């Protein structure tokens, strides 16, 4: 093979979509390497949209790959997605691996590459002229005719490169090496390494693909000087010269630099087929770089359509109260996701695969919620070497370490500690009226492992420990509240979860996933006469089995059982409910409840079908049956989702379903609430269209209507109970309506730009018991506009921005005040609930990332600037002591967070 042969024509590289599963379009989501000045090839890489080609390449010659013997014997089948560079003559010039086979290490990748080098195509054309293009090609290894492996693969066609054939007798490896990515030390699998030289009148060249470990070997190279070239797509070409000496072997390690280390280049989009009306999925790499969250993975959820802005880390979805939405960890419930009520999430980015968000009409697999769902997906570890990162910011320091477990698994550990305590202790002056005995401090620890002994069996384990602590000593407790009895205030929140997952996939017709989660949640608050001690042990079992019956029908069925055992000792005022302002917090009227060894077993079963009525029309009928132990009630919740692909770029969708959840813990407590309450109910209805006019551009418009009833509502009514009058406190007489529309324009990476625009128009109204008028929900935000954009710059710079324009939150005005001479403070008298509204909110956040690539590690720095133009946004209203004066309470000012990250 000549040197010129090794130089791929990159002047006009195209990405295109081909039909019938032969060639899958991938290219437009990638940013191609730009050769450095003086690099081979000469031309600038060009991105060409498939639609502008006048002719796509068609395969004219197919060569069957040799089936790896070991895999054949074990009955293992696999797909390899190849990257083929096709010349303007239709020849395969280069073969790379876009997605290696699963399981790795069986030889599928190498076999597919050898075969693909012999493929031939009719050239692609643009404006009638043949051009070189790059395509992706799925090579599927299937055992059908049981052809015995070991047959000689089809001979390569003219001009194709072949692996140098090992001599029949005793071949000798005299040049071997490892190809690894500079910085990350990830082995580069499936890359063709070329050695060549001018040998008199004839150029001589050989190629060898790297295996899964990035290793390559050449046999019996003639002594002398050989030029070496490795030019994987997306990387700068690597060239060097090696001198072969007779009787000696060369072992080399080559570090190949990726053209760009921006996170969007390496995102592997696992395009799980869409089955929901609305679902937003962001991979961990994307999440990490969204501005405004200081690298925190879960704050990004607030940028999605349908999610209201919230300061406290609450999840407010389509107008629902925060407690109506649920966070899940791989499908199992978790009690908290944030340290200190929103400061930072308990999950480091390293252990996450993605975040999936469903604003409504979610699958029957999910339940016990009438709002939305966020499912945090844990990473499937596939480390090929020991690696990790250390992340240092102004808030905390975290470390993450992952390592392979043989060839079939991986293990990761992560830990984090905040040092707000140190900063605050320095900031609090000696003569301040408070002392931080234990300043705010949080820790978390994670252990994640997965092991796949065979393709049919996948085992995963995860352990999470989280701890928050705070203790304040007051010089004068009466400065807090005249009724406050004590001089300390302490809060500790500790929880842990272990999660075991076993996934059984014997074939493509059946799959079963079983999850067992167990843990303990402990919350302790002590402050004067206030006390809150809650200790819950919980175990959850989820099992879901999916069976496929032909191409048109699949059925998923499962069970979801949640057991809890609770001890609690609580002395607090009645907590403010929806519509009640938190300023009406009366420390004089405390309620105590003492709970010992209370047990609850919430069980549920669900079934969901997937029916392809037509090739383009998919229906997902399902039902979930819940038994709510605390309220001893049942709920049958039918749900239906439909998706109809009207054209390759246009899909219509719709859904309707019933959703139920139990009242809050305090609401059914006999001391704090009404034990006779029933579950709340919601009917979700939504419909919309998705348009994808370009591979990198999509529009999603969804209208929704949510009807709520049986809502828990405060009431002043009294009831006779055991011959005595008592206040009912709550009943199920609340109703509500939420309606609106969401528009999302998403721009995947193209022309170095990625991001989305999300606009939500909504109205959330409710009617309480004993009150004839409708009013706004506490979290009604009529207009929510979020624009998120990231621009990839050369030299591993990345600039991101987020702009938000949101209606102000409703608030209840204070119209008068009465001096309470007993408590020595003024009691506010409120006007109509939520009849006023804060000023509109707008804020711009920026983030700048820079990475420096070294031989074995990567050093990164980021600057996250929140509220760039220092807008004093209203976050509520504050009043003077007698409520005769008021002003807008403002949110965070300009805030700059600097962080460093070292990856290895």
Partner 1 sequence: MTPTSPVHAAGFRRALVVALALSAGVSAGCSEGFDPYNRLTGLRVLAIQSEPVAPAPDETTTLTPLIYLPPGDAVASMSWSWCPYAGPSSQGYPCLISEEQLAQLAGGADDLPPYDLGSGETASFDHTLDPDLLASVCAGAADQPELLDCEEGFPARVTLTVRSDSGEEVETVRILHLRFTDDQEPNQNPVVDGLRAVVDGGDEVIGDEPTVTLPRNTDTVVRADVPDDVIESYTGTDDDGQPEERVEELVLTWFVESGDTKSERTAFIDEIEPLEDAIENEWSPDGPDDYPRDTSQIVVVVRDDRDGVAWASGSVALGDAP
Residue 354 CB burial class (10 angstroms; 0-12, 13-18, ≥19): buried
Per-residue x/- track, 663-692, partner 1 (CB under 8 A): xxxxxxxxxxx-x-----------------
- Residues 644 to 663 in contact with partner 1, rule: CB under 8 A: 661-663
584 binds partner 1 (CB under 8 A): yes
Q: What's the CA gap between 804 and 787, in Å, rounded?
A: 6
Instruction: Determine, following the binding rule CB under 8 A, whether residue 428 of this chain makes contact with partner 1.
Output: no
Q: Which is nearer to partner 1, 412 or 570 (CB)?
A: 570
Q: To the nearest whole angstrom, how small is the minimum distance from the Cβ of residue 369 to partner 1?
A: 9
Residue 889 found at the interface with partner 1 (CB under 8 A): yes
Is residue 602 within the footprint of partner 1 (CB under 8 A)?
yes
Q: Give the binding range for partner 1 (CB under 8 A) out of 505-513, 576-584, 603-611, 862-870.
A: 576-584
Q: Is 425 in the site for partner 1 (CB under 8 A)?
A: no
Q: Report residue 411 as tokens.
A: 């293990």
DSSP string, 833-881: TT-EEPPPEEEEEEEEEEEEE-SS-EEEEEEEEESTT----EEEEEE-T
CB 316 within 8 A of CB 322: yes
Residues 778-837 that bind partner 1 (CB under 8 A): 816, 818-822, 824-830
Of residues 511-550, those binding partner 1 (CB under 8 A): 521, 523, 525, 527, 530, 532, 534, 536, 538
φ/ψ of 522, rounded to 5, equals -125, 125
Q: Is 593 in the site for partner 1 (CB under 8 A)?
A: yes
Least distance CB 577 / partner 1 (angstroms): 7
Residue 238 binding partner 1, by CB under 8 A: no
Q: Which residues contact 844 (CB under 8 A, 6 or more apart)?
A: 801, 802, 803, 867, 868, 869
Q: At closest approach, how far in Å is the CB of 295 from partner 1?
A: 25
| Residue number, 34 or 438, with CB nearest to partner 1 | 438
Cα radius of gyration rounded to whole Å, the chain: 31
User: DSSP state, 343?
Assistant: T
State the nearest-atom distance from the C-beta of 672 to partner 1, in Å.
Answer: 8
* CA distance readout (Å), 176 to 2, 185, 230: 20, 18, 13
Spell out the residues 6+ positions from residue 123 whose beta carbon is closer than 8 angstroms to its own: 55, 57, 86, 87, 88, 89, 90, 130, 131
CA-CA-CA-CA dihedral for 889, 890, 891, 896, to nearest 10? -150
Residue 509 as a binder of partner 1 (CB under 8 A): the answer is: no
Using an 8 Å Cβ cutoff, are 438 and 469 in contact? yes
Q: Indicate whether 770 belongs to the interface with partner 1 (CB under 8 A).
A: no
**Residue 115 in the binding site for partner 1 (CB under 8 A):** no
568, 728, 799, 895: which one contacts partner 1 (CB under 8 A)? Answer: 568
Shortest spacing between CB 565 and partner 1, in angstroms: 9
Q: Are 444 and 395 a contacting pair, CB within 8 Å?
A: no
With binding defined as CB under 8 A, does residue 489 bind partner 1? yes
Phi and psi for 835 in degrees, rounded to 5?
-90, -5
Assess contact for 84 and 67: CB atoms under 8 A.
no
CB of 630 to partner 1, least distance (A): 5
Footprint of partner 1 on 282-341 (CB under 8 A): 312, 322-323, 326, 333, 335, 341
CB of residue 661 to partner 1, shortest distance in Å: 8
Out of 46, 172, 240, 598, the residue judged to bind partner 1 by CB under 8 A: 598
Number of residues that bind partner 1 (CB under 8 A): 106
Residue closer to partner 1 (CB basis): 261 or 730: 730
Question: Per CB under 8 A, which of residues 704..763 are in contact with partner 1?
Answer: 724-727
**How many Cα atoms within 13 Å fall on the side-chain side of residue 177?**
24
Q: Does 370 bind partner 1 (CB under 8 A)?
A: no
Is residue 480 close enough to count as binding partner 1 by CB under 8 A?
yes
Cα–Cα distances in Å, from 39 out to 35, 179, 225, 231, 797? 6, 19, 21, 11, 21
When asked if residue 479 is in the footprint of partner 1 (CB under 8 A), the reply is yes
Q: Does 564 bind partner 1 (CB under 8 A)?
A: yes
- β 344-345/434-454 pair status: unpaired
Residue 592 within binding range of partner 1, rule CB under 8 A? yes
Q: Is 125 in the site for partner 1 (CB under 8 A)?
A: no
Residue 76 neighbours by CB under 8 Å, 6+ apart: 103, 106, 455
Q: Does 496 bind partner 1 (CB under 8 A)?
A: no
Q: Is 629 in the site for partner 1 (CB under 8 A)?
A: yes
Single residue of 62, 445, 585, 705 touching partner 1 by CB under 8 A: 585
């Amino acid at each position: 093979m000549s040197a010129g042969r090794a130089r791929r024509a990159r002047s006009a590289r195209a990405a295109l979509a081909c039909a019938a599963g032969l060639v899958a379009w991938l290219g437009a989501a990638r940013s191609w390497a730009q050769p450095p000045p003086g690099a081979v090839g000469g031309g600038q890489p060009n991105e060409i949209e498939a639609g502008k080609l006048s002719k796509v390449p068609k395969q004219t010659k197919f060569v069957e790959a040799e089936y790896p013997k070991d895999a054949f014997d074990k009955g293992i089948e696999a797909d390899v997605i190849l990257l083929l560079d096709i010349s303007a003559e239709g020849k395969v010039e280069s073969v790379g691996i876009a997605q290696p086979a699963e399981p790795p290490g069986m030889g599928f990748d190498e076999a597919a590459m050898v075969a693909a080098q012999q493929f031939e195509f009719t050239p692609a054309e643009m404006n009638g002229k043949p051009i070189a293009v790059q395509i992706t090609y799925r090579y599927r290894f299937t055992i059908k005719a049981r052809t015995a492996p070991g047959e000689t693969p089809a001979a390569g066609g003219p001009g194709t490169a072949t692996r140098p054939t090992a001599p029949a007798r005793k071949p000798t490896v005299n040049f071997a090496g490892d190809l690894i990515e500079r910085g990350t030390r990830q082995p580069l699998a499936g890359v063709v390494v070329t050695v060549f030289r001018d040998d008199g009148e004839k150029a001589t060249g050989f190629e060898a693909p790297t295996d899964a470990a990035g290793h390559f070997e050449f046999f019996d190279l003639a002594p002398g000087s050989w030029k070496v070239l490795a030019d994987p797509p997306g990387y700068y070409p690597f060239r060097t010269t090696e001198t072969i000496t007779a009787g000696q072997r060369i072992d080399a390690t080559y570090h190949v630099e990726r053209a760009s280390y921006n996170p969007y280049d390496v995102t592997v989009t696992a395009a799980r087929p869409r089955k929901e009306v609305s679902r937003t999925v962001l991979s961990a790499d994307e999440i990490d770089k969204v501005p405004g969250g200081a690298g925190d993975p879960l704050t990004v959820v607030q940028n999605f359509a349908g999610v209201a802005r919230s300061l406290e880390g609450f999840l407010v979805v389509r107008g629902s109260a925060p407690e109506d939405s649920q966070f899940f960890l791989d499908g199992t419930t978790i009690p908290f996701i944030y340290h200190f009520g929103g400061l930072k999430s308990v999950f480091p980015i390293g252990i996450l695969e993605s975040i999936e968000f469903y604003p409504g009409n979610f699958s029957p697999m999910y339940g016990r919620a009438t709002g939305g769902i966020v499912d945090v997906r844990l990473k499937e570890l596939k480390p090929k070497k020991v690696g990790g990162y250390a992340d240092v910011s102004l808030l905390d320091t975290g470390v993450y370490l992952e390592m392979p477990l043989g060839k079939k698994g991986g293990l990761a550990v992560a830990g984090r500690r905040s040092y707000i305590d140190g900063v605050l202790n320095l900031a609090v002056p000696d003569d301040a009226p408070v002392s931080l005995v234990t300043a705010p401090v949080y820790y978390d620890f994670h252990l994640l492992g997965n092991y796949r002994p065979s393709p049919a069996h996948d085992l995963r384990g995860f352990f999470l420990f989280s701890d928050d602590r705070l203790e304040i000593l007051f010089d004068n407790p009466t400065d807090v509240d005249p009724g406050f009895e004590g001089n300390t205030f302490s809060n500790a929140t500790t929880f842990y979860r272990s999660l075991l997952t076993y996934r059984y996939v014997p074939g493509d017709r059946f799959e079963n996933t079983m999850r067992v989660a167990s843990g303990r949640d402990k919350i302790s608050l002590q402050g004067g006469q206030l006390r809150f001690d809650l200790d819950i042990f919980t175990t959850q079992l989820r099992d879901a089995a999916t069976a496929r019956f032909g191409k048109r029908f699949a059925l998923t069925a499962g069970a979801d059982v949640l057991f809890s055992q609770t001890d609690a000792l609580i002395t607090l005022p009645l907590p403010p409910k929806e519509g009640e302002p938190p300023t009406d917090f009366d420390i004089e009227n405390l309620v105590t409840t003492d709970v010992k060894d209370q047990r609850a077993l919430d069980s549920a079963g669900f079934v969901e079908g997937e029916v392809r009525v037509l090739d383009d029309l998919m229906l997902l009928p399902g039902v979930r049956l819940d038994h709510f132990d605390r309220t001893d009630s049942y709920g049958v919740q039918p749900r239906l989702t439909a998706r109809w692909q009207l054209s390759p770029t246009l899909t219509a969708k719709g859904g309707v379903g019933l959703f139920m959840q139990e009242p809050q813990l305090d609401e059914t407590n006999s001391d704090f609430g009404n034990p006779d309450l029933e579950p709340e109910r919601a009917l979700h209805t939504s419909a919309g269209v998705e348009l994808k006019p370009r591979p990198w551009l999509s529009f999603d418009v969804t209208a929704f209507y949510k009807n709520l009833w049986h809502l828990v509502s405060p009431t002043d009514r009294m009831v006779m109970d055991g011959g005595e009058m008592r206040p009912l406190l709550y009943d199920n007489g609340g109703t509500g309506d939420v309606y609106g529309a969401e528009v999302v324009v998403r721009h995947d990476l193209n022309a170095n730009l990625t991001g989305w625009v999300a606009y939500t128009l909504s109205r959330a109204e409710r009617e309480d018991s004993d009150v004839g008028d409708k009013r706004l929900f506490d979290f009604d935000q009529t207009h929510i506009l979020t624009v998120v954009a990231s621009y990839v710059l050369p030299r591993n710079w990345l600039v991101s921005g987020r702009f938000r324009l949101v209606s102000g939150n409703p608030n209840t005005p204070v119209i008068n005040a009465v001096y309470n001479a007993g408590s020595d403070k003024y009691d506010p008298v409120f006007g109509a609930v939520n009849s006023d509204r804060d000023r509109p909110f707008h804020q711009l956040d920026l983030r700048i990332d820079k990475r420096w690539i070294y031989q074995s590690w990567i050093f990164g720095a980021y600057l996250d600037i929140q509220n760039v133009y220092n807008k004093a946004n209203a976050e509520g209203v504050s009043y003077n002591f007698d409520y005769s004066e008021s002003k807008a309470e403002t949110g965070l000012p300009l805030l700059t967070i600097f962080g460093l990250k070292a990856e290895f």
